[in-house]
Structure 1
């Protein structure tokens, strides 16, 4: 085990706040690092707060600051976060600070501290995958943040390669690939849970890039021939870019009235309920069109549920087609419908894929495997920065 370090994660969506994959990742890694003897502080600004919240999540200190919102509030938020970081550093010296792509753009940072940007999929990445124009301010912030980082890592080889191609600040720099970890104790086969025959499950934000529209179209195509088939969608709603209203409501309107009783929009659910829902499902479907490394796919695989996941992006890194999942182009609705029909009607295939998916997660994506790899990476980052500081002192 490496010498004890004080690690700071910059995260404005730490659970139980409304969160996505970054919040889930941060909580899992923070607890894994404290279990390995390190001190961990999570710092973030969060909308809706009227005062500073300084609390404990087990051994992890979580410091949440009220956000002033967009515009000039962005600079005010960065300065407030910088003051909080300086205070934390004074109380107990920090060896390493980690954040996502844009985290270091405006943040005042203490000298001599390793600065890690973890590529979870930033503005350049998702704008490129979704065919959206770059927003000047966000693109500038991402460039500046990446230049200020002392070290870079990425949750998949796909996000590393794509970001390297898009952002000059990354192009000539090494990027260490450290896959998203899944808690294989929480997400595990559940002999005590009775699967629901024909139950399809989706977990993720209800939005276009997650393939929700294509999933509903595929379900509508196969449901008349599969009378037991039902579909449950767990996840937070988003804004429909076409109307400005609820994306979930727009998708619900696409379901024919004859099938509406067989489609359930379950909303946001606690992680424990998601784990149970995965164990209860016959097939997990994650047809995302734009991912850095989908945690939901890993959680489905770790549960031992037969999975259909996207063949795009990091899909081939996540699972092997026909071996540990069925990989499908999510933009191909007939292919998605065929994969759903195939798994719902072939119990031996489901059992084989589910067992292989669980085994693959234990070998490649388990938190127990990835925590020491991340710890070793952090230790190298800290050693590199200490060496540079010592070199400056000797040279001065």
Structure 2
């Protein structure tokens, strides 16, 4: 098959920085090309138009059209023209796009169009308890309604999206994936004692403002514990504060903060080294669709304490391959962390079970096959 992914982001030096959507497409693309499929990456919002091929994948960098009041529509038509040219040349069978801001709302491809839910703006605004922009919700709903078929990375995200947009369509459920060869449990970096690791953007929706309150409770029980934070600092959408990290600092007890180390954004390799050396990974998040960071930590056989909201049980089985606790239950969250810090056997038990689950459910080979089978059914 010849499959195109339309996306606002992709992790490549030529296409700029990327978040979860780009990472999930990167992993899926690798799995599909390994299985013999042709993959095209169409990245809009670029500084220039460019076509290049790398690792058997054809990239189209697409520069947005600038015209006051019509930029979005004209960019959509530019994308539509490119897709239909590829279809006409028999170079493309099917297109997949994310739900974020509904970029395909005015695109009419001459091939099937799949929308994969990684969390729309409407979805995250609902979870954050803040208003969504009217136009974003309008375009997201229109894109979902016009699609040939719908995928979601979790049952929870599919169910909530159907509710928010009053959709009658059903969703196939295919999760995000990771490359197990890049997140191996056979790692030379030694595990440190009493080190908690959070990696991800410092932002309210990922529970960054709960972390200090949780850590204070852990510190009361174990004053040797250290908290390491990795990820870029973000502004706070509710208060308008330019730095979530600055908002976090006063929330730590005066002694506990001495054991906190914020390292900022780090390279892929440095993140993997930090995961390998951590004793326990913590993710008190409020808003996700299906978090890749959790899966990466699980693949490296790490014991995890994470949020119990919505999607969480589709990743971690509570008390089998991790602990799930509500982010605002600070004492309960801390108790689970302390339990793991004090019990190496339990950490190892959780880690082995976590790696097994990732291998069976979230590897790129498994997810790529599920996606390819789904595309084939649509084409047939």
Shorter-chain TM range is over 0.9
| Compared CA separation, residues 260 and 67, structure 1 to 2 (3 A) | farther
2:246 and 2:332 map into 1 onto residues whose CA distance is 25
Q: Distance in 2 between matches of 1:367 and 1:377?
A: 15
Aligned twin of 2:286: 289
Partner of 2:245: 248
What residue number does 2:43 align with?
44
- CA separation of 1:252 and 1:59: change in aligned 2, threshold 3 A: farther
- Distance in 1 between residues matched to 2:211 and 2:86, nearest whole Å: 46
Q: Which residue of 345, 359, 363 corresponds with 1:362?
A: 359
Residue 314 of structure 1 aligns to a residue in which SS? helix
- The residue number in structure 2 matching 1:393 is none
Q: CA offsets, 1:40-87, max 9 Å, x none?
A: 1111223xx432233334111222223468964322332332233334
- 1:190 and 2:186 aligned: yes
Q: Distance in 1 between matches of 2:332 and 2:69?
A: 44
The TM-score, its normalising length taken from structure 2, stands at 0.92
User: Following the alignment from structure 2 to structure 1, what is the Cα–Cα distance between the partners of residues 196 and 179?
Assistant: 22
Match for residue 213 of structure 2 among 200, 214, 217? 217
Structure 2: where are the runs of 5+ without partners? Answer: none
Alpha-carbon distance in structure 1 between the residues aligned to 2:152 and 2:209:
29
Question: Of residues 6, 12, 25 in structure 2, which corresponds to 1:10?
Answer: 6
Match of 1:164 among 162, 165, 186: 162
Residue deviations 1:92-115 (CA, integer Å, cap 9, x gap): 4311100111131123x332x111
Report whether the alignment pairs 1:63 with 2:74.
no
Cα distance in 2, alignment partners of residues 56 and 225 from structure 1: 54
Cα deviation 1:207-247 (Å, max 9, x = unaligned): 11101111121112322442331112222222212134122
Residues in 2 aligned to 1:228 and 1:316: alpha-carbon distance in whole angstroms? 31
Aligned to 2:169: 173
Deviations 1:335-388 (A, max 9, x none): 1111221111111111111111111111222222221111100111122xxxxx
Change (3 A) 1:58 1:248: farther
Equivalent residue number for residue 27 of structure 1: 26
User: Would you say 1:100 and 2:98 are equivalent positions?
Assistant: yes
- Report how far residue 198 of structure 1 moved: 1.2
Alignment of 1:1-396 (within 5 A): 5-16=1-12, 17-46=16-45, 49-67=46-64, 72-101=70-99, 102-107=102-107, 109-111=108-110, 113-168=111-166, 170=167, 172-241=168-237, 242-383=239-380
Deviation at 1:159, TM superposition (A): 0.7
Structure 1 unaligned regions, length at least 5: 384-396
- CA distance change for structure 1 residues 132 and 30 in 2, over 3 Å: closer, same or farther? same
Contact 1:31-1:59 at 8 Å conserved across structures: no
2-structure distance, mates of 1:248, 1:26: 29
Q: Secondary structure at the match of 1:86?
A: helix
Q: Is the 8 A contact 2:28 2:367 kept in 1?
A: no
In 1: Cα distance, 2:249 partner to 2:18 partner: 23
Q: 1:185 Cα shift?
A: 1.8
SS of 1:339's equivalent in the other structure is helix
The DSSP-based 3-state class of the residue aligned with 2:301 is: coil
**What is the Cα-based RMSD across aligned positions, in Å?**
2.0
Question: 1:117 & 1:191 partners in 2: Cα distance?
Answer: 37
CA distance in 2 between counterparts of 1:57 and 1:280 reads 33
Q: Is the 8 A contact 1:6 1:93 kept in 2?
A: yes
**2:196 alignment partner, SS class:** strand
